[in-house]
Amino acid sequence: MRVRRGEQSAVPAADSAEQYPYTPREQEFVDGWLGGVVYGTPGTVRTGLTDLQKHTGTDELDAHHADPRLRDT
């Protein structure tokens, strides 16, 4: 949310981010953004990707692993 407001700061710790007091407008933005994100357990992700595939009519999905990004940091 800080970047969205044009503020420069370090990425907050997970516990700090979990406690962030979203305004109603910020919560609406987050909910909208997360609406297009598939995450969770392997089974949840499988179901979410299957639903996405059916909804979009695509015959192929491409997912990249995070390991290369983690090594670069």
- Give the dihedral of Cα atoms 13, 14, 15, 20; nearest 10 deg: 90
Examine the domain organization and report whether 56 and 32 are in the same domain.
no
Count of domains for the chain: 2
Instruction: Evaluate whether 29 touches 3 at the Cβ level (below 8 Å).
Output: no
pLDDT of residue 71: 63
pLDDT of residue 46: 93
Q: Is the pLDDT of residue 17 over 90?
A: no
Residue ranges of alpha helices (H) inside the chain are 14-18, 24-34, 42-56, 67-72
Examine the domain organization and report whether 32 and 48 are in the same domain.
no
- Mean per-residue pLDDT, 47-70: 84
Examine the domain organization and report whether 46 and 69 are in the same domain.
yes
Structural domain boundaries enclosing 8: 1-37
Q: Is the pLDDT of residue 72 over 60?
A: no
Examine the domain organization and report whether 47 and 70 are in the same domain.
yes
- Mean per-residue pLDDT, 43-56: 93
Instruction: Give the whole-angstrom CA distance, residue 38 versus residue 44.
Output: 8
Mean of the per-residue pLDDT values of the chain:
84
Examine the domain organization and report whether 30 and 2 are in the same domain.
yes
